[in-house]
Amino acid sequence: RNHSTAAVLEEPISPGVSVNYTQLMINGKFVDAASGKTFPTLDPRTGEVIAHVAEGDAEDVNRAVSAARKAFDEGPWPKMTAYERSMVLLRFADLLEKHNDEIATLETWDNGKPFEQAAKIELPMIARLFRYYAGWADKIHGLTVPADGPYHIQTLHEPIGVAGQIIPWNFPLLMFAWKIGPALACGNTVVLKTAEQTPLSALYATKLLHEAGLPEGVVNVISGFGPTAGAALARHMDVDKLAFTGSTETGKVILELAAKSNLKPVTLELGGKSPFIVCEDADVDQAVELAHFALFFNQGQCCCSGSRTYVHESVYDEFLEKAKARALKRIVGDPFKKGIEQGPQIDNKQFEKILKYIRSGIESGATLETGGERLGSKGYYIQPTVFSNVKEDMVIAQDEIFGPVQSILKFKDLDEVIQRANNTRYGLAAGVFTKNIDTANTLTRALRAGTVWVNCFDVFDAGIPFGGYKMSGIGREKGEYGLKNYLQVKAVVTPLKNA
């Protein structure tokens, strides 16, 4: 239970950059909120204010949607050639690379994720994703369809219009990229609402998008809260499509707002309780490391985190001992410090929620192997926590904890683990760890999840579709599949001239 607290610095490292963009981006310009209101965005390392950011509300959403509507209806964006749109995205990717460390600094400061993760993994992945979708821009086209009569029939794949997008705080700029990339490649215009916890990186990136040649009004960014700015976007009559990433609970609200307003199509990427299955033939050391990564990556704040670690009984004891040792070795501390694996949780609300789940785990009879408490005396750091003897009926095995809490469950055979793994309302992802090809094939087909990672986890290449079965969501993002969300299909039927 005694986690080393040595890594937590009492005095946080200075980020060394200043926050230059705090207003709303509407119609190509940074502007204050109509109400003049601002809200503070906090440093999760200390809870102190980083900056005061303009607080968008319904009136600002109206202004942003009008700008996006005009940019869509009058152009130039949807009327530019696909090649020209592609070039804007490519130039943007170059600018992201040029400002890589500055943006990664904002991301770490606002979110608490390790700087090395932001700078070396996420930012390059974001630039790569924009290049991927830049490549699609001039390869989106319809079909010709054979007819029973003398008709020439073609389909046009047209942009859907004004896309409303609402994103969460766990991967602020990556979520911005997953949303904006395909929307722009298809020729849509966008109003995006960032999460209230993490408004900074998207504002910086939006400035670069305009520097890359994006016409005004094409991407509008509103900082603000869910029930005000978010809901105004979800129910807006002039928004043609809505994409949301966040909790299942809020996803339901979004879908209802869309249904009650103009029936805009909605894609949802929601919560998860993903199983990670370690089979009897597994190399235990490798399985421990991967299961650890699957759960603890990004402070455990991943919708797809492998939060139910199923281990075959024949390797359970060895796995447990090593998983505990690995968690004890996890390096937690100021995310700006080199070599840090885990920073603070995003905010006090999540921090308290996670600690409450840990107490619930203990009370329900799971064995707390290590961790379980806050780390240090300020900020939202939590000890890497491991529970064993976890049973499916415990709250910690059912709810999404969204924190550094690993739950280990024992299983006997494949049929049983398939049934137990699928016995959840979620279906976002699953991990399978085995050397046996038959076992891998059986599990990948039986698991009801949008992604199954075999002997790997959290592989997020731009071309791989991502999304959930069941209450983990509707639709797929990324890849060619992600384009469909942002296109309308128009059938055009013309009589053949000399028929």
Site for ligand ADP, rule CB under 6 A: 166-168, 193, 195-196, 225-227, 230-231, 234, 246-247, 250, 253-254
Q: How far is the CB of 113 from ligand ADP (least distance, A)?
A: 15
* Least Å from the CB of residue 171 to ligand ADP: 12
Residue with tokens 């235990």: 284
CA distance 279 to 457: 15
Q: ∠ at Cα 364 (290, 320), nearest 5°?
A: 30
Shortest Å distance, C-beta 164 to ligand ADP = 10
Cβ atoms within 10 Å of 399's Cβ, excluding its own: 15
Q: Is 269 a catalytic residue?
A: yes
State the Cα–Cα distance between residues 223 and 24, nearest whole angstrom: 6
Please write down the long-range contacts of 474-481, taking CB distance under 8 Å and 24 or more positions apart.
474/255, 474/266, 474/267, 474/268, 475/267, 475/268, 475/269, 476/267, 476/450, 477/178, 477/179, 477/182, 477/243, 477/267, 477/269, 478/129, 478/178, 478/182, 480/136
For the bound state, the minimum distance from the C-beta of residue 229 to ligand ADP, rounded and expressed in Å, comes to 7
Q: Tell me which of 196, 269, 341, 400 is the catalytic residue.
A: 269
Taking the least distance from each CB to ligand ADP, the nearer of 37 and 128 is 37
Minimum CB distance to ligand ADP, residue 57 (Å): 12
**Whole-angstrom distance, CA of residue 331 vs CA of residue 353:** 22
Sign of CA dihedral 201, 203, 206, 208: negative
Q: Across-strand partners of 50?
A: none
Quick one: 89 or 106, whose CB is closer to ligand ADP?
106
Distance CA 276, CA 420 (A): 12
Q: Find all residues with CB under 8 Å of 436, minimum gap 6, and list them.
A: 279, 281
Minimal distance, residue 114 CB to ligand ADP, in Å: 20
CB atoms near residue 143 (< 10 Å): 11
- By annotation, the residues acting in catalysis are 269
